[in-house]
Amino acid sequence: MSIASIGAFSTIIPTVILLGALATDLHLRKILNKWVAISIILALINSFYFYGWSGLEQGVIAGGVVLVVMIPLVLIGALGSGDMKILFAFALTATFQEVFSVFVFSILWGGVVGIGMAIYRGQAKRLFGNTVRILTAKPRDTETYQRIPYTIALVLGWATYLIIGARQGGLF
């Protein structure tokens, strides 16, 4: 198998992990722990099959970084714990650079999706007010939080990475 085909085939499992999470997130508005467990197993198999022990090592490092970065976001309510767990499973298939790139792209897509949903729902003024409160460290109107299925942004971030970032080795 050539290096190019290994790279192409090795993206199947991460894509399945994110698409499965997206399906449950859209349908149930949460990511099932059963899917997270299955995803972790698939991710470990994927990393070892395509990249051996060094792939597992890279994935564990990337997963650890995800937890360190995401736990504070979960604790302040900026992200759901299911989103953190699925990004952890995804990270087990990748390198730190890939995960960082996907995370940055997903933040950008999350903003686009969130603004689009706020405009569609007629809540743009409320979104602007809450954004100002967040930036000025004032208490937010938590009853009017706009919750988006963040897996949409993760899938779009992964697609963006595959289209743009992979050619350049990520954002690093």
DSSP result, 60-96: HHHHHHHHHHHHHHHHTTSS-HHHHHHHHHHHTTS-H
Residue tagged 């993206």 (tokens): 11
Tokens of residue 70, six digits = 């995401």
For the chain, report the end-to-end CA distance as a whole number of angstroms: 28
* Cα-based distances in Å from 161 to 15, 25, 90, 136: 12, 21, 13, 32
Q: Give tens-digit pLDDT for 68-112.
A: 999 998 888 788 899 999 999 999 999 888 999 999 999 999 989
Query: What is the reported pTM?
Result: 0.84
